[in-house]
Amino acid sequence: MAREKAGTQAGTGAEKGTGRGTERGRAAGAGGLVRGGGFGRLCGAAAVSRFGDALRGTALPLLAYSLTGSPLLISLVTACGFVPWLLFGLLGGAVADRMDQRRAMWAVDVLRGLLMAGFALAVALDRVSIGLLLVLSFALTTLQTLFDNAATALLPAVVPQEKLGLANARLMTCQEVAGRFIGGPLAPLLIALGAALPFLADAATYLLAAALIASLRTGPPAARPAVAGRTLRHDIADGIRQLWRDRVLRALCLSVALGNIGLGALIATLVVVVKRWLGAGDFGYAAVTTGYGVGMVLGGLLARRAIAAAGGGGPALLGAGVLQTVVLVGLGTLRSPAAAAVFLGLFGFASMVINVLEATVVQQRSPAGMLGRISAAFRTVSVAGTPLGALFGGAVAGLYGPRSPALLAAALLALGAVALIPVLQAPDSP
């Protein structure tokens, strides 16, 4: 549920867009979105992988809840899933810009598939503990730092520059359909059949996604001219400087960072909120989170219309941030699972609009050959507070009750919306 956000950007895309993405995207063909091709395989891999992630994302908190009743320990599992971004996120972006993104992605998925298969075996043998869950979360996200940065840099090589907004919206919508409508509701059924089944299925989806990505044909990767004495540290510094110099990206990154502190608190304790505040069981937990997925899918289908109706990307970002704040106040005020599903549905709609705008703006404003590093710098800064927020949420829930993380998240998302004001004032705003 972390905010990773898309849409359109007028004007600056042609000047600041990735040159490699434009050339190679056109080579793939403008019809790739419709007829399948490279985008179809990439979208299929993303959907399959998200299906497995949804199984694990539902089963893992429930497994943690069965091992300990401590909200702080449960939230620590989520925190460990974000810490690697702080340690390795920038490095992953620099590496992604230096290598063939397609090969990096399928190799990482193979490793993640083997890791999940081993964890499924541990669950089947009843050899799991909170400590093992912490290690698993840390290891998966460490691999994800390379995968996500490579994926961001690969998309402009598969679709034309002018269709990036549409591609991001369709990609995210397919992921939500596979995850929320299929994976999430199916997870409790698999858990009932065997605690290890969701994790075993997740391992299989990683391997299938790896096969789909390996089958992509995007042409030879664009090689950057070798510079004597050029180190990964220099590459990382270049990405950070470019992010800082761009007023729009800088303000958007700050907004996402503030919101993610609050969302870290909410995500880490959502199972506590649903079970203790709303009084719902395992199926209720899946139903409430499915409401979020419904909103995400609708947001993906209607993102372009919503952005146009708001008067552009900047106003749409601000409006979506305000909507998220309001519905989280409702989640922490009304004690009703049905109302919570509606609130999370509205929250998901706003999140998808933000996700589409964020992804496309970063892709379009990044100079050629720097997308991996700029994307990594953006992600690293934006998720920096999430582990702290996760721990903060667990502590707050223990001290002030299970509804408090939702209200804390609402306050921080409101601050994030205020941080978007410079985006509205920028002459080249999205």
pLDDT at 33: 55
User: Phi first, then psi: what are they for 289, rounded to 5°?
Assistant: -70, -25
E strands present in 272-356: none
- pLDDT for 112-124, tens place per residue? 999 999 999 999 9
Separation between Cα atoms, residue 34 and residue 26, nearest integer Å: 14
pLDDT at 206: 93
- pLDDT for 41-69, tens place per residue? 888 888 888 888 888 887 888 888 888 87
Q: Which amino acid is at 100?
A: D
Contact between 428 and 248 under an 8 Å Cβ cutoff? The reply is yes
Per-residue pLDDT for 1 more than 60? no
Of all residues in the chain, the percent with pLDDT exceeding 90 is: 13
pLDDT at 185: 75
- pLDDT for 160-188, tens place per residue? 877 877 888 888 888 878 877 788 778 88
Q: Looking at residues 325-330, what average pLDDT do you find? A: 92
Contact between 71 and 361 under an 8 Å Cβ cutoff? The reply is no
Contact between 341 and 288 under an 8 Å Cβ cutoff? The reply is yes
Of all residues in the chain, the percent with pLDDT exceeding 70 is: 87
- pLDDT for 241-263, tens place per residue? 888 888 888 888 888 888 888 88
Q: What is the pTM of this model?
A: 0.66
- What DSSP assignment string belongs to 41-105? HHHHHHHHHHHHHHHHHHHHHHHHHHH---HHHHHHHHHHTTHHHHHHHHHHHHHHHHS-HHHHH
CA 103 to chain CA centroid, Å, is 21
Separation between Cα atoms, residue 140 and residue 302, nearest integer Å: 32
The residues that bridge with 357 in the sheet, in sequence order, are 6
Contact between 385 and 234 under an 8 Å Cβ cutoff? The reply is no
Fold of 12-217+231-425: Growth Hormone; Chain: A; (1.20.1250)
Burial letters for 319-358: b for 16+ Cβ neighbours within 10 Å, e otherwise? bbbebbbbbbbbbbeeeebebbbbbbbbbbbbbbbbbbbb
Instruction: Quickly state the pLDDT bin for 154 (edges 50, 70, 90).
Output: confident
